[in-house]
């Protein structure tokens, strides 16, 4: 399902990141970074809440808005019952739509927000997401203390909070269109190879986006997926070519491979993941390149793996989904 | 945040329920019921997936639509990573927005769907939710085998799947307006008293709905909350009176107290809960009363508790949220 928008703008973005992200190539671009994964909190979970809360506070300052002027917050995260989002938004006392698409949550929020702004139902909204390396490890691979070795296809959940302020007030970059993804089952069962799980979901959404709008890959300066990592990125390029006859290799990158220095930061294995991964890269780096007109049109395809530890234990396949938003420089 | 809609209709609803719900006063109104909580599946989780899947299949038949004619599915549930919804929708191969507002998920889905239909972005959508008594018990109170006694304020997670088909095609009942709720913190910490947690969330949303639209309680034939149960219902009536000076007692009921025979079915304690609770009651009973013009205008206020076991263990407060949709008979 593809929508086009006439009057939806990105007026501000914000990013707060953890120590591993701070050491990566985009470290200096984040609004704030922490050297410690606890960032002054007592638990990984409240640390994640505070990262998200702080990124929203910074967003409001950058957008020069009081929280009373915000119509709606749309947010989601990986924690069970999306607690990071709920607890962060509660402190702001805003109308709240909780969402979940795993690591594709960021663009799902933008699609809902942009659709409501475009139709005049709201004037503005905050879309937000977070993840935290240790709250995710604890939840998905508890007890983490066992420290079992991981295969090289494993990705590393990014730590941080990232937000966008979307509104009908003209700015340098607009949300031009979007495509809602479908859950895709490619009979994958390895929770340590999310790139392989998510690549077909990304391919399906990119293909339908291009088809729905009768566009070519070259209509975009950059197609950037969420968090496929080194191996998933290769799989996507191959899969697009063999399945759809589309070569994306010349203007394609993956946020999971951009967030860290994969040569130096060996601990991140195949790259970054988590809903905040693609949000950190886009909100700190790519949207800034667009504001500087170094990129004119970008397709941000956040990618998520739909599963739970319970379903993995029960030998169910791991599904994937990808939601795409097309961003365009306002001339 | 309150929206009004011009052309959003409820064309069909569907309900599939479990054995406890089948024995309740609405038992004969459900489209299908199971005598067994496993409904032929091997696990509680896949049982829940199948209940939801089956309710969608029934919905499509009742709406006389093929799945290819559906623009979008919006769904969420209580299972970690909303797996019931993702796995059920995957089988339908539909564009999917995953949402989470705990037991307020049903109306959140309707608000997003109605807003997209009203603005012409989509022609139709399915909104769906599910819960399962044992998958919830296992997840939130594992290991269930210990069978610790519960206080009388505890509610009983309903088992079933329930869906609505919303479209721009005129029918007997329309979605007239909606109000998105805010996360509310009233310093509640007892996970066995969800009624007390959720009543202030319901009150906030009802008050803002009435205020935003300059309406009175008497503009509604019925205000029906999600799943406050016996005690939460009393708290809401009191709280509305003392906090806002509004008496709702004459045309107010709670789905948690309507789904079961509270005199006979002692095992449900203070009443039903779970996202499917208010969806089962509205989709099987209340919307039919509206189609028969026995009720002209109803405010469905699904109520959710925003928390996770991890946050409860860490002594964090339990938040609540309520999303309201106003349903109106089409004259």
Residues in B closer than 8 angstroms to A183, CB to CB, are: 86-87, 89-90, 96
Looking at residue A137, its pLDDT comes to 86
Task: Count the neighbouring beta carbons within 10 Å of the beta carbon of residue A63.
Answer: 23
Q: What is the CATH number of the domain that holds A180?
A: 3.40.47.40
Comparing CB atoms, the residue among A89, A112, A321 nearest residue B183 is A89
Inter-chain touch A79–B112, beta carbons under 8 Å: no
pLDDT digits (tens, 9 = 90+) for B189-203: 988 899 999 999 999
Residues in B closer than 8 angstroms to A184, CB to CB, are: 90
The average pLDDT across A107-127 equals 98
Query: How far does the CA of residue A264 sit from the closest CA of chain B (Å)?
Result: 33
pLDDT digits (tens, 9 = 90+) for B54-94: 999 999 999 999 999 999 999 999 999 999 999 999 999 99
Comparing CB atoms, the residue among B71, B90, B181 nearest residue A95 is B181
- In DSSP notation, A25-83 reads TTGGGSSEE-SSTTTT-SSHHHHHHHHHHHHHHHHHHHHT--GGG---EEEEESSGGGH
Question: Which one-letter DSSP state was computed for residue A283?
Answer: I
Euclidean distance between CA atoms A73 and B44, whole angstroms: 33
Query: Is A137 in the same domain as A218?
Result: no
Inter-chain touch B314–A183, beta carbons under 8 Å: no
Inter-chain touch A98–B310, beta carbons under 8 Å: no
Comparing CB atoms, the residue among B100, B115, B180 nearest residue A76 is B100
Taking the CA atoms of residue B170, residue B176, residue B182 and residue B185 in that order, the dihedral angle to the nearest 10 degrees is -110
Query: Is B181 in the same domain as B131?
Result: no
Inter-chain touch A115–B118, beta carbons under 8 Å: no
Looking at residue A140, its pLDDT comes to 86
pLDDT at residue A16 is higher than 70: yes
Query: Is A80 in the same domain as A127?
Result: yes
3-class secondary structure, B42: coil
pLDDT digits (tens, 9 = 90+) for A190-208: 888 999 999 999 999 999 9
Query: Is A209 in the same domain as A120?
Result: no
Looking at residue A192, its pLDDT comes to 87
Query: Is B183 in the same domain as B160?
Result: no
- Is residue A60 situated within a structural domain? yes
Inter-chain touch A83–B314, beta carbons under 8 Å: no
Inter-chain touch A308–B185, beta carbons under 8 Å: no
φ and ψ at residue A74, rounded to 5 degrees: -125, 120
Least CA distance to A184: which residue of chain B? B90
Looking at residue A250, its pLDDT comes to 96
**Longest CA span, chain A:** 54
pLDDT at residue A142 is higher than 80: no
Query: Is A207 in the same domain as A160?
Result: no
Comparing CB atoms, the residue among B1, B80, B183 nearest residue A71 is B1
φ and ψ at residue A182, rounded to 5 degrees: -115, 150
Contact B55, B160 (CB under 8 A): yes
Inter-chain touch B81–A306, beta carbons under 8 Å: yes
Expressed in angstroms, the distance from the first to the final Cα of chain B is: 27
Inter-chain touch B96–A316, beta carbons under 8 Å: no
Query: Is A261 in the same domain as A118?
Result: no
Of B167, B182, B210, the residue at which a domain comes to its end is B167
Query: Is A76 in the same domain as A196?
Result: no
Looking at residue B244, its pLDDT comes to 97
Examine residue B143 and say whether the peptide bond preceding it is cis (omega within 30 degrees of 0). Answer: yes
Euclidean distance between CA atoms A71 and B208, whole angstroms: 14
Domain that holds residue B236: 173-329
Inter-chain touch A307–B71, beta carbons under 8 Å: no
- Is residue A78 situated within a structural domain? yes
Inter-chain touch A310–B83, beta carbons under 8 Å: yes
Of B167, B199, B221, the residue at which a domain comes to its end is B167
Comparing CB atoms, the residue among B71, B79, B308 nearest residue A1 is B71
> Which residue, A309, A275, A310, A319, is CA-closest to A130?
A275
Comparing CB atoms, the residue among A45, A182, A307 nearest residue B96 is A182
pLDDT digits (tens, 9 = 90+) for A249-303: 999 999 999 999 999 999 999 999 999 999 999 999 999 999 999 999 999 999 9
Residues in A closer than 8 angstroms to B81, CB to CB, are: 78, 80, 100, 102, 306-308
- pLDDT tens-digit profile, chain B (331 residues): 999 999 999 999 999 999 999 999 999 999 999 999 999 999 999 999 999 999 999 999 999 999 999 999 999 999 999 999 999 999 999 999 999 999 999 999 999 999 999 999 999 999 999 999 999 988 887 666 566 778 899 999 999 999 999 999 999 999 999 999 999 999 999 888 999 999 999 999 999 999 999 999 999 999 999 999 999 999 999 999 999 999 999 999 999 999 999 999 999 999 999 999 999 999 999 999 999 999 999 999 999 999 999 998 899 999 999 999 999 999 8
Least CA distance to B307: which residue of chain A? A83
Examine residue A143 and say whether the peptide bond preceding it is cis (omega within 30 degrees of 0). Answer: yes
pLDDT over 70 for what percent of chain A? 98
Inter-chain touch B72–A1, beta carbons under 8 Å: yes
- In DSSP notation, A190-244 reads -TT-HHHHHHHHHHHHHHHHHHHTT--GGG-SEEEESS-HHHHHHHHHHHHHHHH
This complex has an ipTM of 0.97
Helix (H) or strand (E) holding A162: strand A160-167
Q: What does the mean pLDDT of chain A come to?
A: 95
Residues in A closer than 8 angstroms to B45, CB to CB, are: 310-311, 314
Looking at residue A240, its pLDDT comes to 97
Inter-chain touch B116–A118, beta carbons under 8 Å: no
Residues in A closer than 8 angstroms to B120, CB to CB, are: 119
Least CA distance to A118: which residue of chain B? B119
The average pLDDT across A102-112 equals 98
- Is residue A1 situated within a structural domain? no
How many A-B residue pairs are in contact by the CB < 8 A criterion? Answer: 166
Looking at residue B137, its pLDDT comes to 86
Query: Is A162 in the same domain as A36?
Result: yes
Domain total in chain A: 2
A96 phi-psi bin (left φ>0, alpha ψ -120 to 50, beta other): beta
Least CA distance to B186: which residue of chain A? A90
Say which range, A138-147, A162-171, A266-275, B4-13, has the weakest mean pLDDT: A138-147
Looking at residue A147, its pLDDT comes to 64
Query: Is B36 in the same domain as B159?
Result: yes
Looking at residue B143, its pLDDT comes to 66
Query: How far does the CA of residue B204 sit from the closest CA of chain A (Å)?
Result: 11
φ and ψ at residue A307, rounded to 5 degrees: -170, 180
Contact B109, B72 (CB under 8 A): no
Residues in A closer than 8 angstroms to B76, CB to CB, are: 100
Comparing CB atoms, the residue among B99, B182, B314 nearest residue A95 is B182
- Is residue A91 situated within a structural domain? yes
Burial category of A234 from C-beta neighbours within 10 Å (exposed 0-12, middle 13-18, buried 19 and up): middle
Contact B128, B82 (CB under 8 A): no
Say if strands B252-254 and A272-273 run parallel, antiparallel, or are unpaired. unpaired
Query: Is B97 in the same domain as B184?
Result: no
Residues in A closer than 8 angstroms to B140, CB to CB, are: none
Inter-chain touch A102–B81, beta carbons under 8 Å: yes
Inter-chain touch A183–B83, beta carbons under 8 Å: no
Q: Please tell me the pTM assigned to this model.
A: 0.97
Query: How far does the CA of residue A287 sit from the closest CA of chain B (Å)?
Result: 24
Would you state the structure tokens that stand for residue A111, as one six-digit string?
Answer: 């699609």
Inter-chain touch B95–A185, beta carbons under 8 Å: no
Residues in A closer than 8 angstroms to B185, CB to CB, are: 90
Contact A8, A118 (CB under 8 A): yes
The average pLDDT across A13-40 equals 97
Say if strands B173-179 and B318-329 run parallel, antiparallel, or are unpaired. antiparallel
Euclidean distance between CA atoms B314 and B293, whole angstroms: 49
Of B167, B197, B222, the residue at which a domain comes to its end is B167
Residues in B closer than 8 angstroms to A127, CB to CB, are: none
Inter-chain touch A96–B183, beta carbons under 8 Å: yes
Query: Is A161 in the same domain as A179?
Result: no
- Is residue A2 situated within a structural domain? no
Inter-chain touch B80–A309, beta carbons under 8 Å: yes
Inter-chain touch B306–A99, beta carbons under 8 Å: no
């Amino acid at each position: 399902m593809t929508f086009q928008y006439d009057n939806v703008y990105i007026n501000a973005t914000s990013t707060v990141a953890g120590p591993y992200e701070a050491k990566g190539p985009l470290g200096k671009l984040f609004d704030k970074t922490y050297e410690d994964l606890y960032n002054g909190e007592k638990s990984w979970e409240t640390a994640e809440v505070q990262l998200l809360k702080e990124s929203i506070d910074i967003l409001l300052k950058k957008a020069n808005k009081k929280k009373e002027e915000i119509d709606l917050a749309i947010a989601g995260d990986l924690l069970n019952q999306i607690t990071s989002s709920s607890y962060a938004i509660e402190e702001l006392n805003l109308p709240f739509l909780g969402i979940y698409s795993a690591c594709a949550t960021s663009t799902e929020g933008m699609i809902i927000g942009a659709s409501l702004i475009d139709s005049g139902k709201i004037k503005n909204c905050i879309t937000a997401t977070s993840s935290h390396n240790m709250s995710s490890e604890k939840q998905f691979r508890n007890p983490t203390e066992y420290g079992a070795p991981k295969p090289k296809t494993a990705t590393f959940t990014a730590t941080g909070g990232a937000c966008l302020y979307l509104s009908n007030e003209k700015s340098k970059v607009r949300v031009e269109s979007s495509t809602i993804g479908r859950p895709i089952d490619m009979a994958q069962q390895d929770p340590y190879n999310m790139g392989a799980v998510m690549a077909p979901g990304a391919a399906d959404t990119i293909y339908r986006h291009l088809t729905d709008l009768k566009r070519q890959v070259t209509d975009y300066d950059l197609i950037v997926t969420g968090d496929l990592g080194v191996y998933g990125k290769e799989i996507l390029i191959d899969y697009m070519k063999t399945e759809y006859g589309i070569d994306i290799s010349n203007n394609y990158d993956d946020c999971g491979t951009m967030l860290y220095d994969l040569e130096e930061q060996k601990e991140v294995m195949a790259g970054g993941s988590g809903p905040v991964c693609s949000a950190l890269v886009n909100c700190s780096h790519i949207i800034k390149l667009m504001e500087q007109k170094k990129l004119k049109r970008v397709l941000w395809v956040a990618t998520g793996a739909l599963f739970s530890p319970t379903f993995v234990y029960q030998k169910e396949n791991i599904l994937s989904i990808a939601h795409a938003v097309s961003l365009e420089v306002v001339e």
